[in-house]
Amino acid sequence: MSDGDAAGAHDVVLIGGGAAGLRAAIAIAETDPTLDVAVVSKVYPMRSHTVSAEGGAAGFIAADDTWEEHVYDTVSGSDWLGDQDAIEAFVAEAPRELLQLEHWGCPWSRTDDGHIAVRAFGGMKKMRTWFAADKTGFHMLHALFQTSLKYQRVTRYDEWFVTRLLVDDGRVHGCVAIELATGAIRTIRAKAVVLATGGCGKVFPFTTNANINTGDGMALAYRAGAPLKDMEFVQYHPTGLPFTGILITEATRAEGGWLLNKDGYRYLQDYDLGTPSPTPVMRSMELGPRDRLSQAFVHEVEKGRTADSPWGPVVYLDLRHLGEELIESRLPFVRELCLKYERIDPVTELVPVRPVVHYMMGGVHTDIDGATPLAGLFAAGETACVSINGANRLGSNSLPECLVFGARAGRAAASYAASAGPVGDSPAVVAQVADEVARVRRLMAAMPDGLPEDSVPVIRERMQTTMEDAAGIYRTGEAMRKGADALRELQERVGAVGIQDTSRSFNTELVAALEVANMLDVAECMLASGINREESRGAHQRTDFPDRDDERFLVHQLTVREGDGPPRVEQLPVSITRWPPGERVYGR
């Protein structure tokens, strides 16, 4: 076989093997067992980023909790930018999905009387976060993966990297992918494609995300003509380990952990976190929403009340008062991470932390069933934007989002594929395959030794520095416009990038070159959308427009590709069903 030849043809191809992708695969197999399904994953599925999720998954189950309260917390948490019809569906279906996951083998932690244990999470009035100690994502992904194995019509392409979607006559016809073990470039035909590739935290230099989170699915959709939505909203998690960026879960604060500045002072009491009347569940200021806790950190830096470290200013997470027994039973992974990566034991020592890029509220624009405007293309999980998260995601909503909308996208893709006509080798598809093969071959051209200006590491580092400076926790129009100009220059240079490694098998330098091109497209959309949103809402805080502006910007923003130039920004109304915009508060 030569490059560009077909590896196979399937009814539905899922790109991504994490929670959303595997849940979609199971939903397709259950909806129509006759359909042929493929899961294409850049890594072995159990190495997907879902495995690193720690704290838990939200679903109302406690006797004192209600559907309406979870909906309202999510709407308010989104700063009224979440689509309320999607949030209502999400909240209704989340408990069923979590219970189904238990039937598939997820070992949820339990109370002494055998009921599902739930913990508090930031921005939620009631305790509704299911958990499996502090390794929730790990156990969820295990349950999904082992369940997917029983379906014989599900084929896996492990360690294949998708580089292009094939589109003709307004619909998707499959994709082009590199088999990493051999370096072969193959086409995979499909009537429908579901994107579930996760987030794009590696656009920034300091992130909780794994190295695989390079916005691949977002870039694939964007280049194929599907818009990206609300890309300006980037969530910083307030507690990442210095240097590594490894996440220290919000569960630490749910269990009673404190945030202290260099003087040992619980500084969050000095800030408006939207919690004027804390309920017993929100028993501490540390359970405020993530965006406001991260913003408070910046103000502590400005006041000179943070501690210095080799990796910038830090504050401290204090778990000492919780005791070893609680930490070992509820937060064992946190202790393990601190010991291994910081040589600190949280039982007896303070843990240095700082805000770190964690989650993308924006993503591929979809409807409530995961369908994009491009026929046959669906998306789910963090790579998608339904949107239930709006301007700020509440902690523990993301894992059930993968389940609920992974299942919805799977069922919708199955229905589409069952009625869609066959895909074939039209002239347009053949030309796209040839173009993609030529692009990859150009990258394989050898370069001289050293790190020239147009090398992958140099371009990636400058992109990340640009994004940190232009699209951090606080932003200005001037900084974002300067950043957009810098990204334009990098876009021109990335076309000339080459690699030194010309081997075919597991060529990580080739993958890195393809990933940096993806990240540049995603980064441009973030800044274009941020420049256009002249207000402060949720995770998008502009010091030159400090107020929320519902009159002009109670809208989603779509970034649409315009040839090889910067994206065009369009607006889309937010779906409001029962809860008109109001003050964003928690604990009431």
Q: Which residues have a catalytic role annotated?
A: 237, 253
In eight-state DSSP terms, residue 383 is G
Question: Where would I find the beta strands (DSSP E) of 471-537?
Answer: 474-475
The tokens 């369009």 sit on which residue? Answer: 570
**What is the token pair recorded at 336?**
């393990």
- Please report the sign of the dihedral spanned by the C-alpha atoms of residue 403, residue 406, residue 408, residue 410: negative
Q: What is the C-alpha separation between 366 and 384, in angstroms, rounded?
A: 7
Question: Residue 340, Cβ neighbours under 10 Å: how many?
Answer: 11
Residue by residue, what is the 3-state secondary structure of 227-260?
CEECCCCEEEEEEECCCCCCECCCHHHHCCCEEE
Cβ neighbors of 568 (< 8 A, separation 6 or more) are 559, 560, 561, 562
Alpha helices for 32-184 (secondary structure H): 67-77, 84-103, 136-148
As separate numbers, helices (DSSP H) first and strands (DSSP E) second, the chain gives: 15, 21
Pick from 54, 22, 31: which is nearest to 198 by CA?
Answer: 22
| Number of Cβ atoms within 10 Å of the Cβ of 122 | 26
144 in Cβ contact with 20 (< 8 Å): no
C-alpha span between 495 and 476 (Å, rounded): 29
